[in-house]
Each structure stands twice: as structure tokens, then as C-alpha cells.
Amino acid sequence: MVLSGQSDPVTFPPGDLWSDEPPLESDRHLKQILLLLSSLEWWWRDRLDAPQQRRDNFFAAGNLSIYYSTRQRKSEDFRGPDFFVVLNTEYKERKSWVVWEEDGKYPNLILEILSDTTAQIDKGLKKQIYQDIFRTPEYFWFDPYSLEFVGFRLKDARHYEQINPNEQGWLWSQQLELYLGIVEEQLRFFTPAGELVPAPKEAAIQEQQRAEAERQRAEQAEAIAERLRHRLEEMGVDPRELQ
């Protein structure tokens, strides 16, 4: 489409956009989604090394449309969770998640990041859809400002039952086999043993620190051995005779 009557016509892009989701509410919302995606992919990095055609892999996405029309129409019945994970599927790039093109699969886990404009829908209509239509086994919501964090698990494939937190306030995800908990006002994953699942940058820093600590230990051990050699030589003992 081109607007006329202007010296420099404005050309609009085509309308076949990949996803029908509104813009994110804030930078905090965006960073939270990216953190969840990157840390989960790091945790499951061994799966990503496997051939993409494997059907027992996973797909995780943020702010991406899910189309679920029973009449297989993308003009009706679609929702866009802030974060969702589908298990036992191919790991590959997708423009959207189209249920009838994915063997009828719906997400195994959905997380909505609340905002002033979406909280009522996330807690009401979307929760009802995820429970009654999607039959998504686990549904969570998280407010990045008030830090409200609640999770639900589908009971008897019929209705959501709230997940009880552990002593740390974390919620267990049976689907991911990980805890979700808040650290420094961000929602993070934790292993069954309670260890933080790092984002790739954090993992790289940890590896650098581990390598540096190992280098320092090696230098200290060499320094101790050198002092011992000098001490033996002062005592008239050839260190090579002790080997």
C-alpha cells in the first residue's frame, strides 16, 4: 500500500506478519522472556546437539501466536503466551505454533508475565482457555514488578489446582523437571538439587572463574613443590633420589 498526495510516498510492508502478538509492556518483560528462553536452552543444550528431525526434542518460544481453530483458520482462535514450552516435538524455527500442523499438540507449560493491562485476562479468560481447550498441564503467571508468582497444575485432565511452594517459595514444574523461583526480581529455573540454572553468559563467567581457580591452584602447588626442593637441597638431599 502506498499513500498518495505526498512528495515521498510511504510504502507499507505486507500484511502477512508472522505473529499477531501486541508489543511487550516493558523492557523488564522482554528481559524476563529472553532469560527464561536462554537459560532453558542452555540447560537442555545436549538436546540441541541432536539431529533436528528427532521427535522427542522440544520447542520453547516467547510472545508467539498459537493458532488452534478447529476449522483450521488462522483468522480465528489464537492466543500468544508470553512464554511456552512444547515437549516431544521437533526443535526447529517456527513463525508461529499452528496446532493442526503439529500433530494436534498444545504447550506442556505456559507462563504469562502480568502487566496492568493484561493481568485480568491472564488470570481469567486465558487461564480458562489453557485449562479447558489447551489442556496445558502447567500454567504459571508472574508479575515482574509486584513479584506475584502463582502456578497451577492440571488435575485429572479437568481443572487447575494451585501448586504449593517449597520452603524457598519455588514452584516445581513436573513438565520441565525444574523449579521456578524468584531471584533479584527475576523468575529463574533451579535444578532438583536447588542449583540455579544459569543463562549462557553466566555459565561462561562461571567457567572462566573455574578455570582461573584451577590455574591458581596449579601455581600454588608448583610453588610449594619448588620450596620443598630448595629445602631438601639445603639439607644435602637430592630431590631426584626421592622419586
Tell whether 21 is covered by a domain: no
Highest mean pLDDT among 14-28, 102-116, 222-236: 102-116
Q: How many domains does the chain have?
A: 2
Residues 150, 215: one domain? no
CA distances 139 to 30, 35, 76, 198, 203, Å, are 19, 18, 23, 22, 28
pLDDT band at 203; cut points 50, 70, 90: confident
Residues 187, 210: one domain? no
Residues 117, 219: one domain? no
pLDDT tens per residue across span 34-68:
999 999 999 998 887 766 556 679 999 999 999 99
Tell whether 1 is covered by a domain: no
Tell whether 49 is covered by a domain: yes
pLDDT above 60 (res 14): no
**Average per-residue pLDDT for the chain:** 84
Residues 158, 214: one domain? no
Contact 190, 124 (CB under 8 A): no
CATH number, residue 159: 3.90.1570.20
Residues 212, 101: one domain? no
pLDDT above 70 (res 98): yes
Residues 153, 104: one domain? yes
What stretches of the chain show up as alpha helix (H) in DSSP? 27-43, 45-48, 119-123, 125-129, 200-234
Residues 118, 230: one domain? no
Q: Give the dihedral sign, CA 91/189/178/145.
A: negative
Angle separating helix axes 27-43 and 200-234, nearest 10 degrees:
60
Comparing CA positions, the residue from 129, 70, 61, 57 lying closest to residue 99 is 70
Contact 136, 109 (CB under 8 A): yes
pLDDT of residue 234: 73
pLDDT tens per residue across span 159-193:
999 999 999 999 999 999 999 999 999 999 999 99
**Domain assignment of residue 220, given as a range:** 202-242
Instruction: Tell me the percentage of the chain whose pLDDT exceeds 90.
Output: 61
Q: What's the mean pLDDT in 148-166?
A: 95
Q: What's the mean pLDDT in 209-218?
A: 59
Tell whether 9 is covered by a domain: no
Backbone region of residue 201 per phi and psi (left: phi > 0; alpha: psi in -120 to 50; beta: other values) = alpha
pLDDT of residue 179: 98
Tell whether 20 is covered by a domain: no
Residue for grid cell 540455579: 196
Residues 79, 161: one domain? yes
Contact 81, 114 (CB under 8 A): no
Comparing CA positions, the residue from 72, 174, 79, 173 lying closest to residue 130 is 79
C-alpha cell at position 108: 506442556
Residues 169, 72: one domain? yes
Residues 216, 118: one domain? no
Tell whether 11 is covered by a domain: no
Residues 114, 176: one domain? yes
Tell whether 16 is covered by a domain: no
Tell whether 72 is covered by a domain: yes
Residues 118, 231: one domain? no
pTM of the predicted model, to two decimals? Answer: 0.76
